[in-house]
Amino acid sequence: MKNYVNSAKYPIRFERLHPGSLFRIKSEPSRGIRQVEDETVYRRAKDHEGFYAVNVETGAAIILYPQDMVQPIKEVRGGK
């Protein structure tokens, strides 16, 4: 199992996330969801429309809107 840590202090809007970045979804105002309890890790896809992301574990695609809030994360490497 991979370990991840937050790479930003606060969640940001999905539109501000760079393509290729890892993140977790925090809220989806576009669907009326104030807080998401999902710990799934996604990677923002390098598409032209900017709405597309992929589940890191399964490869399943998801659609997010620019106003949705995400928590940028990074993978922790190394250890004992």
Query: What's the pLDDT score for residue 46?
Result: 82
Query: What's the pLDDT score for residue 21?
Result: 94
Q: Compute how many other C-beta atoms are within 10 angstroms of the C-beta atom of residue 70.
A: 26
Query: What's the pLDDT score for residue 80?
Result: 54
Q: How far is CA 35 from the centre of its chain?
A: 14
Going along the chain from its start, the domains and CATH numbers come out as: 3-75 (2.30.30)
The tens digit of pLDDT for each residue in 10-65 reads 999 999 999 999 999 999 998 888 898 889 999 998 876 668 899 999 999 999 99
Query: What's the pLDDT score for residue 49?
Result: 67
The whole-model pTM stands at 0.87
Query: What's the pLDDT score for residue 36?
Result: 87
> Three-class SS of residue 72?
strand
